Structure 1
Amino acid sequence: MNDTATPAAPATFNHLVVLANPAPDGFDHSIVAAYAQEVERHHQAVQVRDLYALGFDPVLRASERPTVPDWSPAPDITAELDYLRHCDILVFVYPIWFGLPPAMLKGYVERVLGAGYSFRDLQASVGQPSVAGKPLLSFSTSGTSLPWLDEQGQVLSLKDIFDVYLWRGLGMSQADHVRIDCVVPDMSSAYAGEQLERVRQAAEKACAQLASGRYHERAEAALQRRRTSLGHD
């Protein structure tokens, strides 16, 4: 009989990728594929939620407002919350339309990330249990150039009203954003390849920070800052 204990298998980190683009052959799908391949190459797990392919309903009903007595999530939201609870990093992939993410993704934020989370919770940054302490990584695409978007004030505005707002309001650990511009039907294969390499590098970095505990350290620091701001020890 061999008394030597079998070493425990290394923990698997889970990446939840939420895609919001209705075009099945769009570049955003290539981004998701590149990200997933790199994550799996690092022996971590990835779950993709393609909101349009799933037929996700983005419309928030009055009965879903967290101020409703005896509130409980709708069945479809219960499933999405389960994916969130079991992930270690949340990844958004979406195009920029009229300066903002698609309404589909905004609906996901309202119905899923906002499930049971009131404006008072958001204002106090108490932390949405399903994502508190977890990092947010976003990949956005645009047909116009980044300099042009910056001239319109779109880059800074989107960062403030979406990335930073969600990161702080939901009690997440940080928010990073990879912007890919000039995504058009006739873009060169060389340019597309360069951008997908950026995606793979971002995925590699995310995997490394999860494995090293760096994200966890930032989450603990963020939690301590929230406790201090709220007057807790």
Structure 2
Amino acid sequence: MGTSKRMTGANAMESTTRGRADTGFNHLVILANPAADGFDHAIATAYSQEVERLHQSVHVRDLYALGFDPVLRADERPTEPGWSPSPDVAAELELVRRCDIVVFIYPIWFGLPPAMLKGYVERVLGAGYSFRDLQVAAGQPPVAGKPLLSFSTSGASLPWLDEQGQVLSLKDIFDVYLWRGLGMSQADHVRIDSVVPGMNAAYAAEQLERVRAAAEKACANLASGRYREQAEAAVRRRAASEQDHAS
């Protein structure tokens, strides 16, 4: 789609900070689509514009434009003695720590997010976090208590994907797994189907309105403290569950 220009160079790497002094809320957008004129980039633009309009800040990380290395190497595994993050991961972790909400934007390829995004999860969100931590939902400090919002696109229609069991599967193995395993507060997902070359302009505009509405809702939830309340409730539930298991 030629709906949006790609965010490259300084725009891809630097934070957009307009409005931050007003609210202090920061959205970290992780974009994973190599197509410079893809609809996912239009989603990132629409989301960012709405966040800025509501006087919150947004920082877009276009993983392909940045040349992010998605390969997790042996010395980065948290079980290695003396583990410490590599410089590129340390820089990403600092951005994650400063954000109030993590936003994924990606296409569905072969039923899953692109390997680039999976690599970001493994190297950044999973940095220093072992499978034992996941099992007990210890909470990954950079993202614990923060919400996850995902926008996924697919060329196939949602009814067809649903028939294949893809919609529920992706929710369980990616959204819910990360939300619970990393100790995040919740996971919401906006699915946009039938994204194909030459897609109807009216349909594209309608989907971007959905994106703006989701951005508006996220901003409102941050401003009202709703996400914080959900995070506190999640902590109480985990504590109660641990107490039940111990008794």
Output the TM-score relative to the length of structure 1.
0.95
Which residue does the alignment assign to 2:214?
A: 202
Q: Find the residue that maps to 1:230 and give its secondary structure.
A: helix
Structure 2 residue identity aligned to 1:23: A
Which residue does the alignment assign to 1:32?
A: 44
> Equivalent of 1:87, from 63, 81, 99?
99
Q: Find the residue that maps to 1:129 and give its secondary structure.
A: coil
2:47 and 2:212 in contact (8 A); partners too: yes
Question: 1:11 and 1:106 mapped to 2: Cα distance?
Answer: 31
**C-alpha displacement of 1:224:** 1.1
2:27 and 2:99 in contact (8 A); partners too: yes
1:126 and 1:226 in contact (8 A); partners too: no
2:103 and 2:148 in contact (8 A); partners too: yes
> Equivalent of 1:172, from 179, 184, 189?
184
Which ranges in structure 2 are unaligned for 5 or more consecutive residues?
1-20
2:22 and 2:55 in contact (8 A); partners too: no
Aligned runs of 1:77-226 on 2, under 5 Å?
77-226=89-238
Question: 2:125 and 2:198 mapped to 1: Cα distance?
Answer: 36
CA-to-partner distance for each residue in 1:70-102, whole Å, 9 max, x for gaps?
Answer: 100000000000000000000000000000000
1:88 and 1:134 in contact (8 A); partners too: yes
Alignment identity in percent? 80
> Equivalent of 2:58, from 25, 46, 64?
46
Instruction: Give RMSD over aligned pairs.
Output: 0.9
Structure 2 residue identity aligned to 1:105: L
Name the count of aligned residue pairs. 224
Structure 1 residue identity aligned to 2:123: R
CA-to-partner distance for each residue in 1:160-192, whole Å, 9 max, x for gaps?
Answer: 000000000000000000000000011111000
Which residue does the alignment assign to 1:64?
A: 76
Question: 1:225 and 1:97 mapped to 2: Cα distance?
Answer: 34
**C-alpha displacement of 1:10:** 4.3
Which residue does the alignment assign to 2:25?
A: 13
User: Rg larger in 1 or in 2?
Assistant: 1
Which ranges in structure 1 are unaligned for 5 or more consecutive residues?
1-8
Question: 1:53 and 1:197 mapped to 2: Cα distance?
Answer: 25
2:22 and 2:56 in contact (8 A); partners too: no
